[in-house]
A = this chain, B = another copy of it.
Amino acid sequence: MSREVFVLHPRLAADSHSLGETATAHVLLHRNAVVPWLILVPKTGHSDLLELPVALRTVLIDDCAQLARYLRMRRGAEKINFAAIGNLVPQLHLHVVGRRAGDACWPLPVWGHLNATATYSAAEVATIREEVRTALAIG
């Protein structure tokens, strides 16, 4: 994006809590608390993960790997579903979803299948924000 200001897509902003920013991405928590679901939004104009320059791609996926480790260690995930889809929201965003056998839409993927909903309390969001910032070494 060079010097342009990166603006988060309004749909992503509406569907999530902001957890902070790394040098290369916004870090979001999906508002639906039924499954632990983090979203990394790279500050780039590219819309497909597989088109990114390798150096940027590597940094971003390293961060996703840290998020995955966090979901396993602290949020009960037994399995990580990782995806870059973007059919509805063209701004590139990387889903890192913690899954476990018997969760609300197991074994289906969450996209288009997660019908149950739950909300995080403000305290829960604050806790997750702190934990994720630690996991990503933000600020």
Name A's B-contacting residues (CB within 8 A). 47-51, 54, 57-58, 61-62, 64-65, 68-69, 79-88, 96, 99, 106-109, 111-113
Contact = CB atoms under 8 A, between A and B. Distances in A.
How many subunits of this chain does the assembly comprise? 2
A87 B82 contact: no
A40 B2 CA distance: 34
A99 B69 CA distance: 30
A85 B68 contact: no
Give the residue among A83, A87, A88, A112 with the most B Cβ atoms within 10 A.
A87
Contact of A107 (B64, B87, B107): B87
Given A51-B68, A83-B83, A87-B106, 16 more contacts: A47-B79, A50-B68, A50-B69, A51-B80, A54-B58, A61-B61, A79-B86, A80-B84, A85-B109, A87-B107, A88-B107, A108-B112, A109-B109, A109-B112, A112-B112, A112-B113
